[in-house]
């Protein structure tokens, strides 16, 4: 037996859900380039592709959209639980707790209908808590808006512009799934014990919350706020690297070339933000960070990752910083559920080993 730190380079499943080719920058959901899906498809279509294995016909899309929208209203007990959570609790922890309380049948094996009940409810969980914290009224649930539009509508009280809807939709599609990352693996481990879908998703949300995984976009915004202006970028970044700190939004376990999601999101945010000074600061920070990373970490192949421009898109559509990672969880629920269904279909309990390094008692 050999310990592989961080399980780097270890494959734990065969799957046709997605390909993440970090050497060549190829990114595919079930035989489709994700960059094409992001500009030509709706989020609902992509979720259908991930869960059922094919893009839906018009009738299938209508039916699937209806299935998701049936779960937009939160049950009273879930609202009560959210109300009981102390105000200082972060939104990811609220989401984790509320998802675990949803009235979804725990029958085995998990089915797409169970997954739809969770995905359908997540925008309402986030928006309900957001309005409670802001002291603003939660808008009345609508049935005729798309999943993406309805999320923005629930947060802001008015239907979004087409530009905002399309930008957020591109983000949701680009981040819906990403192979065997830490949160997906956590969900698959729980599923492999024949535990229920809600338990698996609760574990996945907990894993996504960490700053080395999904917690990075708000940290990117924090970094840009701390830098403050273009003339301070280099000295600020250099000081962090001198102190041995990591720059948020750079580096990836799998991508050793440009993260295709970051490229796509750069274009989306460019269209929305244009000459906005904050976006210009982000572009300058990226340029200088890449050159400093080459200077301080030569040969590590550190590039901009998806989280850097996720912050730019989410900010441009008007989301507050504390909703960045929860919005990532909303999109990634699609990929988690695809993997949970996949794991259940080919199940074998995931049970690795550890190497004991402690003492052995003298007598047996």
d(CA 283, CA 286): 5
Judged by beta carbon, residue 48 or residue 252, the one nearer ligand ACO is 252
In a 3-state reduction of DSSP, which class is residue 328? helix
- Triad 241, 219, 296: Cα angle to 5°: 15
Under 8 Å between Cβ of 18 and 177:
yes
Lookup result for tokens 């609508």: 142
The piece of 23-31, 72-80, 113-121, 305-313 that touches ligand ACO (CB under 6 A) is: 305-313
Active site residue 54: no
Contact call for residue 216 and ligand ACO (CB under 6 A): yes
d(CA 69, CA 67): 6
Residue 237 beta carbon to ligand ACO: minimum distance, rounded to whole angstroms: 10
Residue 146 beta carbon to ligand ACO: minimum distance, rounded to whole angstroms: 24
The piece of 77-85, 96-104, 131-139, 296-304 that touches ligand ACO (CB under 6 A) is: 296-304
Q: Which of 44, 286, 307, 339 is catalytic?
A: 307
The piece of 55-63, 156-164, 225-233, 250-258 that touches ligand ACO (CB under 6 A) is: 250-258
Lookup result for tokens 């029958």: 107
Active site residue 131: no
Distances 350 to 150, 186, 254 between C-alpha atoms, Å: 37, 10, 22
Q: Which residues in 186-215 contact ligand ACO (CB under 6 A)? A: 212-214
Contact call for residue 38 and ligand ACO (CB under 6 A): no
Under 8 Å between Cβ of 159 and 153:
yes
Q: What is the DSSP letter of 248?
A: T
Contact call for residue 260 and ligand ACO (CB under 6 A): no
- Contact residues for ligand ACO (CB under 6 A)? 6, 212-214, 216, 246-253, 297, 300, 302, 305-307
Active site residues: 252, 307
């Amino acid at each position: 037996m050999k310990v592989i730190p961080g399980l780097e380079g270890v494959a734990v499943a065969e799957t046709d859900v997605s390909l993440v080719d970090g050497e060549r920058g190829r990114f595919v959901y079930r035989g489709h380039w994700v960059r094409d899906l992001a500009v030509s498809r709706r989020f609902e279509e992509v979720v259908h592709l991930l869960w059922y294995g094919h893009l839906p016909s018009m009738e299938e899309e209508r039916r699937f959209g209806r299935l998701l929208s049936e779960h937009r209203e939160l049950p009273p007990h879930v609202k009560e639980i959210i109300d009981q959570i102390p105000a200082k609790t972060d939104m990811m922890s609220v989401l984790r707790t509320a998802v675990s309380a949803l009235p979804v049948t725990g029958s085995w094996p998990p089915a797409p209908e169970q997954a739809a009940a969770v995905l359908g409810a997540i925008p309402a969980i986030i928006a309900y808590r957001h309005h409670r914290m802001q002291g603003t009224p939660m808008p009345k649930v609508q049935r005729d808006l798309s999943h993406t539009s309805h999320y923005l509508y629930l947060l802001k009280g008015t239907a979004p512009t087409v530009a905002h809807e399309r930008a957020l939709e591109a983000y949701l599609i680009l981040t819906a799934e990403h192979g065997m990352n830490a949160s997906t693996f956590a969900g698959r481990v729980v599923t492999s014990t024949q535990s229920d879908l809600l338990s698996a998703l609760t574990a996945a949300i907990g894993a996504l919350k960490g700053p080395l995984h999904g917690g990075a976009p708000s940290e990117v915004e924090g970094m840009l706020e701390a830098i403050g202006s273009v003339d301070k970028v280099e000295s600020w970044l250099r000081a962090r690297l001198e102190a041995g700190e990591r720059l948020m939004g750079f580096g990836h376990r799998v991508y050793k070339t440009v993260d295709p999601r970051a490229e796509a999101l750069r274009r989306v945010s460019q269209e929305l933000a244009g000459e906005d000074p904050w976006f210009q600061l982000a572009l300058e920070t990226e340029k200088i960070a890449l050159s400093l990373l080459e200077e301080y970490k030569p040969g590590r192949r550190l590039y901009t990752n998806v989280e850097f421009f996720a912050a730019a898109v989410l900010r441009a559509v008007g989301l507050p910083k504390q909703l960045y990672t929860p919005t990532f969880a909303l999109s990634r629920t699609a990929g988690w559920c695809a993997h949970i269904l996949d794991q259940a279909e080919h199940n074998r309990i995931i049970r690795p080993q550890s190497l004991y390094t402690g003492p052995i008692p003298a007598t047996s």
